[in-house]
Amino acid sequence: MVQTARVPTAPAESWSRPEEEVLRALAVERERGLDPEEVSRRRHHHGLNRLRETKPRGAAQIFWDQVASPVVALLAAAAGVAFAFEERLEGAAIIAVLIVNTAIGFGTERRAVRSMEALRELGRVHARVRRLASTRVIPAEELVPGDIVLFEAGDVLTADLRVVEASRLQVDESALTGESLPVEKSVEADLLETALPDRRAMLYKGTAVTRGSGEGVVVATGMASELGRISRLVAEAEGEATPLELRLERLGRRLVVLTLAIAALVAASSLWAGRELYLSIEIALALAVAAVPEGLPIVATLALARGMWRMARRNALVEQLSAVETLGSTSVLLVDKTGTLTENRMAVAEIALADQTTVTFEPGNDDTGEFVRDGAKVEPERQPVLALALRVAALCNNAEIAGQGSNGAPGLGDPTEVALLLAAHAAGFDRASLLDECPELREFAFDSETKRMATLHRVSQEQVMAAVKGAPETVLPICSRSVGPGGEDRVLDAPAREEWLERAGEMASRGQRVLALATRSLRESEAFDFDQLALVGLIGLLDPPRRGVRQAIDACQDAGIRVVMVTGDHGGTAWNIAAATGLIEPVEGDVVDFLDARSHPSFADLDDPARKRLLEAPVIARATPRQKLELISMLQQNGAVVAMTGDGVNDAPALKKADIGVAMGQRGTQVAREAAAMVLMDDELGTIVAAVAQGRAIFANIRKFVVYLLSCNVSEILAVSVASLAQGPLPLLPLQILFLNLVTDVFPALALGVGAGSPALMLDPPRDSDEPLVARRHWMRIFGLGGSIALSVLGALILAHAIGKSAAEATTISFLTLALAQLWHVFSMRERRSGWWRNEITQNPWIWAALGLCLALIGAAVYWSPLATILSIADPGRDGWILALAMSVIPLAVGQLALWRRSRRSPS
């Protein structure tokens, strides 16, 4: 029996093994690479270098989501009963309601899903590999463990690699770890216990090379990579049903029980009273029709769709209708730092000059910016030391500005060097022009051990200037002089150097990356050494907060939403960004860094004090993807409705687990966008605030129209039930009830559902996640208002018989009384704090349009012969109209009086 040769695999913890050992384990020579036969064998074993793609919601799933609700099931059952008793018109009308509701919801969500699919990246990624001792470019999905990959600045890495050669190599790992600064990479092995963000010998799939070049051997591909492990967490993270879905489901179940109970009770009482079986069942059917709010699915769907369209106009793309409302009930907003609160790019913030002055830099919207000192704008060309500092920063540099001011892609190269170029360019110092003026003679490349670099430039026929930048702790000790206000040299002694080091430490404590700038004049024939330098100043850079973030956080806090930063970045950086954005008060000790606390590798294992500290922390640094998942679960178990924002691969599992995940559309990775329920097309946190306000308005509108619909239906139930139990004539017939539920209910309710909402909603605290859509106080209001309408209808029926109207005319009068009373009833849906005339109802143009349409349809029901015949309606005459109109106003007066009394008891 022939045994298949074992496929070589990378050793565990490849970052802690020497590169020779990793290459040996993978059975590959660096200079030769793999041969085609071995590549084929390994691909057969490991599979293609692909991640599992999230399957988008198909048409069938979207359709099922529209019909899978208790209210829809109840309506379908009512239609079935109607057809069983040959009440085809009732059955057909109910089926029409279901078709309209399903079509609206299906169409809106399908359009959103297609928009999300359009965001997915379509281009194929390639990689440069060495195979059979020659370099070739192959599709990235064909990489296998053991491939030797070559890369340089600008390349996106497409597999997990162990570094085997590195030249000034830096990688942007922010999408994976949340670390905003590029990470230096080297061949030397790391310690076994080194955490992923600190590993220098490893490169990871999905990250980008920002500087230098190198080679690496593939150690993991596809789902075996770190990116694949995070994708697996996304798959394991269970999506949560939205609060609105849960509330509507609970309400639907209650309506099912209520409808069946009422129908059975009235049918039994009717039989007990001696009525025929068919008549008793017809009465029960009429009550079932009255109890079911046929308009609820349509109005809820359209209200959510309207909110979805409004959000889309505000650059917030929502894939699922019910998620629109979820933001309105959010009580905790978890935000990532890099790319969400910050720009995810470095920018010059502060320049401490050797002439003892400090200048701040405020970048503009393009490649401009302002230099400010003591609150006043300064012109760099008139400030000799500032001008020299910016010239040194531009000359001692290897980056390039792409497009001279393209903010979308500001430059190529190390982000820190790009930031220095942008600041110099804003001052009018273009590197290309400077090099024409001062040609570069030589470069002393950045050394990771000495942490400094220098370039030599000819400034005259005999004179050369050295431009030096580097870490303050390595540059300051070799400075013997500093540059004075007029450009003259001053002595820099040991105590002065110590003061500058303290200054650098103080700048670093504010989250800045600090570089020292120095210069030296020498003759062209003179050899350059890193000594006898003249200090020009310190320059501080940081990943700046995004514009509008502070205002967005303030608005969230005013709305009672607790904002928490959860990042994989260092605690000091996170704390400073939190202070700069107003997330926390700048008090020492606010940073909670559980990842660095070795006793807490998992949030799930925390004791009660640590758990309490975690749940109350405003900043959580160095968090892993799994810890973010655990944090969200803990908050949800604590009763919070959690929204999560993010843009990186490391955010994707948490985006799916949250009640609503919000991904960034411009900077966001494909994995993050697919895991989220909402995508911000402008990447602005302020868009979330607008979405929260829209979500709150939607919920308030849904609650208004639910109270409106149910109080209308209760009035029908009470009117028919009382008449049936009293063995009197029915005030309404089944088709008349269905007509009212589809006309006088739906259109005013729809107008309520699309109202703009009150700005005061953003000053209220979030709703309790357990608060039902219809609370006890709302049920009392429903039965109170519904009872007043029912009494008016029964009163109109009695009075109609008293003035000699026929049975058909009397039923028509009670029908008209109910129809008009339900129309006027919409004015009782205003907030109790609003005025009786000028309020959100009277100022809603859709309300007046709905009233006009309904009045026209009611008139058609009376005077258009075909419809009047179907509904069994007779002309009530002039006195009948007057009676119906007079009786219909009584419930409106009762509703306004109730609102006035409530406002007196609780004015706020």
Catalytic annotation, residues: 336
On whether the CB atoms of residues 82 and 88 are closer than 8 A, the answer is yes
Give the residue among 230, 62, 57, 342 at the shortest CA–CA distance from 655.
Answer: 230
Q: In what order do the strands lie in the sheet with 332-335?
A: 316-318, 678-680, 660-664, 642-646, 332-335, 562-566, 619-620
Rounded to whole angstroms, what are the CA distances from 867 to 97, 150, 247, 701, 859?
A: 18, 78, 37, 32, 10
The number of beta carbons lying within 10 Å of the beta carbon of residue 366 is 13
Tokens of 793: 């209808």
Tokens of 119: 């965001």
HSE (side-chain half, CA atoms, 13 Å) at 489: 13
DSSP summary character for residue 30 = T
DSSP summary character for residue 664 = E
Rounded to whole angstroms, what are the CA distances from 701 to 379, 751, 831?
A: 55, 9, 11
Burial grade of 490 (CB within 10 A; 0-12, 13-18, 19 or more): middle
On whether the CB atoms of residues 416 and 541 are closer than 8 A, the answer is yes
Per DSSP, the three-state class of 519 is strand
CA dist., res. 316 & res. 687, Å (int): 7
Strand-pairing partners, residue 162, are: 202, 217
Long-range (24+ apart) CB contacts under 8 A made by 4-12 are: 7/41, 7/42, 7/45, 7/46, 8/42, 8/145, 8/146, 9/145, 10/145, 10/162, 10/217, 10/219, 10/220
Tokens of 686: 């302020």
CA dist., res. 167 & res. 815, Å (int): 86
H helices of 294-409, in order, are 295-313, 323-326, 384-395
Helix (H) or strand (E) holding 868: helix 865-871
Cα 567–223–21 angle (5° rounding)?
95
Nearest-10 crossing angle of helices 685-725, 549-558: 30
Tokens of 767: 């709703």
CA dist., res. 96 & res. 77, Å (int): 14
Pair type for strands 134-139 and 160-172:
unpaired
CA dist., res. 546 & res. 548, Å (int): 6
Burial grade of 3 (CB within 10 A; 0-12, 13-18, 19 or more): exposed
On whether the CB atoms of residues 734 and 676 are closer than 8 A, the answer is no
Tell the residue number behind the tokens 């092995």, with chain if given.
Answer: 189
CA dist., res. 515 & res. 511, Å (int): 13
Tokens of 306: 């309207």
What would the DSSP string read from start to end of 540-578?
EEE-PBPTTHHHHHHHHHHTTPEEEEE-SS-HHHHHHHH
Torsion of Cα atoms, 426 then 428 then 432 then 434, to 10°: -130
Give the residue among 381, 74, 436, 461 at the shortest CA–CA distance from 255.
Answer: 74
Give the residue among 866, 341, 224, 240 at the shortest CA–CA distance from 581.
Answer: 341
CA dist., res. 792 & res. 890, Å (int): 7
